[in-house]
């Protein structure tokens, strides 16, 4: 099982390197106020200091420093750096819902739905988080895969005894029903 998870993680990391080189959505223009710029730069410095200390002391510590650092890069509009921070955390051995979830959401924002699905699958595998059935269904809708969207949506719907009319409408449209 560990080997399977490690293999998936390495494939995702390789995919990121390739995709970030080809996708202009990885860098976005942002309009930060001078005060926001100072705060973001401070967050980056502090998070990097924590990460370097943990790596120097060979302790894994908390994933929070990685999340803060990645979010700061995202606030600067650099999704490529943010994705690298998350993948570095995974390579470093941190197992965190926030890291996998945030990386999945970032993939969605840049239109990399297959990679987002891989992150959500890892959340299901590692944490048994059934709520990600919904996110997987939404990603399959974006991929125009009505069958898989329906499969994951139905699992989510059964698990949480709820529904989403908008999602159901999109799936029906994809399936031609």
User: What digits encode the pLDDT tens for the residues 135-171?
Assistant: 999 999 999 999 999 999 999 999 999 999 999 999 9
Phi, psi torsion values for 171, nearest 5 degrees: -65, -45
Considering the chain, what is the average pLDDT of its residues? 87
On whether both 96 and 139 belong to a single domain, the answer is no
On whether both 31 and 59 belong to a single domain, the answer is yes
On whether both 8 and 67 belong to a single domain, the answer is yes
pLDDT at 93: 86
Distance CA(94)–CA(9), nearest Å, equals 12
Domain count, the chain: 2
On whether both 19 and 94 belong to a single domain, the answer is yes
On whether both 84 and 98 belong to a single domain, the answer is yes
Q: Is the model more confident about 75 or about 17?
A: 75
Tell me the residue range of the domain where 34 lies: 2-129
CATH number at residue 78: 1.25.40.10
pLDDT tens profile 52-93: 988 888 787 778 999 999 999 999 999 989 999 999 999 888
What global pTM score does this model have?
Answer: 0.78
Distance CA(175)–CA(137), nearest Å, equals 13
On whether both 36 and 22 belong to a single domain, the answer is yes
Q: What's the maximum distance between 2 C-alpha atoms anywhere in the chain?
A: 58
């Amino acid at each position: 099982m560990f080997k399977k998870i490690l293999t998936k993680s390495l494939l995702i990391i390789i995919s990121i390197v390739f995709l970030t080189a080809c996708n202009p959505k990885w860098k976005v223009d942002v309009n930060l106020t001078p005060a926001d710029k100072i705060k973001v730069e401070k967050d980056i410095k502090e998070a990097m200091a924590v990460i370097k200390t943990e790596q120097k002391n060979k302790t894994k510590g908390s994933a929070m420093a990685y999340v803060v650092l990645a979010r700061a890069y995202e606030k600067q509009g650099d999704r490529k750096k943010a994705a690298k921070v998350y993948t570095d955390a995974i390579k470093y051995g941190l197992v965190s819902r926030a890291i996998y979830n945030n990386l999945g959401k970032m993939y969605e924002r840049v239109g990399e739905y297959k990679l987002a699905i891989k992150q959500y699958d890892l959340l299901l595998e590692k944490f048994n988080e059934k709520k990600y059935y919904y996110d997987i269904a939404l990603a399959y809708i974006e991929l125009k895969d009505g069958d898989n969207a329906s499969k994951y949506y139905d699992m989510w719907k059964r698990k949480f005894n709820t529904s989403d009319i908008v999602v159901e409408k999109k799936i029906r449209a994809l399936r031609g029903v």
